[in-house]
Amino acid sequence: MIDAGPVVMMRGEARLGWQAMEASEAPSTAIDVAVIGGGPAGSAVSAFLARLGRRVALIEKSRHPRFHVGESLLPSNLPILERLGVSEAVAAIGRYKPGAEFVSPHHEQRQVFPFADALNPSPDHAYNVTRAEFDELLLRHAAAAPGVDLWEGYTATGAERLPDGWRLTLRGENAPAEIRARFLIDASGRDGFFAKVESVRQRSPRHNSAAIFAHFRDVSSDAWAADGSIAIYWFEHGWIWMIPLRNGLTSVGAVSMPDYLKTRKGPLDAFFIETLKMCPKAWTVLQNASRVSPVRGAGNYAYTAKKAFGDGYLLLGDAYTFLDPIFSSGIYFAMQSAERAAEAVNVVLDRPELAGRLFSRYQRELDNAMARLTWFIYRFNSPILRNLFMKPRNFFAIRKAVVSILAGDVYRGGTLSLRLAVFKTIFHLSRLANLRTDREDRRRREVLPSISLPDNEIADRL
């Protein structure tokens, strides 16, 4: 299956195991798959493909460890980490996370949803992780797999379609390089390699928030009822996350609606603190904490690509779709799509005629699973959904179904679908019973202006 001949044309730099060549000498392609991006999606798909006997070039523009937002995993992540062979290593760097908690300005009591209460049997916990550590662990694990060549510090800058695959141009820290591969996987996250090359990305018109976040030390333990849980605090303009990490650090972020973001006048760090103060219950537990990282912003929020695949390529993780992180689902979808993609690509490399069928199924399953969450995400700031979350009745095991969703159980149908349908019906009946509130909420969302926060804005001052 694997042609052992040299496949890479190096310019100005020798690499172990590769041979410098002129373009005209280039042999047929021995790399099966070039993966752009060494985040959770790219590292996972590389490791899974290598296990299937494929030869992979994994290209990552930065050098790990590097900062990344998104620190809360879901119970549904754990079986994937297990299959990947990294579950113990992740447990060692993670903070045990037993559930999710919600705090509302309009409700006395917080709501605690332990993962152990889920409808279907699934792990009763997850982990919160520092992404610099987690992503490096996954990247090194992939790079150690026989068949994976890691190109760390190389940015993919162009891709040319050839009759037998792709010619990929890379910008290295010291010199450019080219790789030829039979198949291309875009796991480049929010940067979106293919989104830029092929203009395939469309922003979600229905969800246009942005996030501002930083790490804090000495957040009061009153922030959480159950040690290690993620706590979500609603406020007038959105919601705030508090994710306890190891070593006394807490990741704190505010996801706000664009009409509020438009009111920002000063620098990002001052605006962040002003925003946190707008949520008195959150500020009470934060006021004596110290910020220990720069304040960062992520704009250009929710989007999806028109298609998850094309002729000779496939999109994974955030390179395909980005959902609002309220349900901490990003890493799960990134790794889940990676595992499914590896299986499909492995078959298609031998039987290209199956590409349309297998990749359509890959996209359909992913879209359906995400749709489960988007229903909740689009309504998350609605007072009516908030009421249902804050006073969940377990009639017909609906509360358990909500816990299953919070745990990332989004691929399963059966009784879970039925119970979620009942939950949605109750939501719509509540809307009818609260017509004025519903109308005001919808009006606010209909007139949302476009975002006023650039992606990756950083306020470096501490």
Q: Which stretches of the chain bind ligand FAD, using CB under 6 A?
A: 36-42, 59-62, 68-72, 155-156, 187-191, 193, 211, 213, 253, 298, 317-319, 325, 328-332, 334
- Pick between residue 233 and residue 431 the one whose CB is nearest to ligand FAD: 233
Q: Smallest gap, in angstroms, from Cβ of residue 433 to ligand FAD?
A: 33
- Pick between residue 70 and residue 431 the one whose CB is nearest to ligand FAD: 70
CA–CA distances in Å: residue 28 to residues 15, 20, 52, 56, 59: 19, 15, 21, 15, 20
Judge whether 404 and 122 are in contact, CB under 8 Å: yes
Q: How far is CA 449 from the centre of its chain?
A: 25
Judge whether 105 and 390 are in contact, CB under 8 Å: no
Looking at residue 236, the DSSP 8-state letter turns out to be T
- Pick between residue 211 and residue 348 the one whose CB is nearest to ligand FAD: 211
CA distance 35 to 38: 8
Closest CA to 246 of 129, 90, 73: 129
Q: Smallest gap, in angstroms, from Cβ of residue 285 to ligand FAD?
A: 19
64: exposed, middle or buried (Cβ count in 10 Å: 0-12, 13-18, 19+): buried
- Pick between residue 250 and residue 329 the one whose CB is nearest to ligand FAD: 329
- Pick between residue 212 and residue 384 the one whose CB is nearest to ligand FAD: 212
How many helices and strands, by DSSP H and E, does the chain display?
A: 15, 23
Q: Smallest gap, in angstroms, from Cβ of residue 188 to ligand FAD?
A: 4
In the chain, what are the helix, strand and coil shares in percent, each to the nearest 5? 40, 25, 35
Q: Smallest gap, in angstroms, from Cβ of residue 193 to ligand FAD?
A: 5
Q: Smallest gap, in angstroms, from Cβ of residue 299 to ligand FAD?
A: 9
Q: Smallest gap, in angstroms, from Cβ of residue 367 to ligand FAD?
A: 16
Residue listed under structure tokens 């664009």:
258
The pair of structure tokens assigned to 207 is: 């969800």
Q: Decide: helix, strand or coil at residue 240.
A: strand
Q: Smallest gap, in angstroms, from Cβ of residue 251 to ligand FAD?
A: 8
- Pick between residue 40 and residue 310 the one whose CB is nearest to ligand FAD: 40
- Pick between residue 7 and residue 245 the one whose CB is nearest to ligand FAD: 245
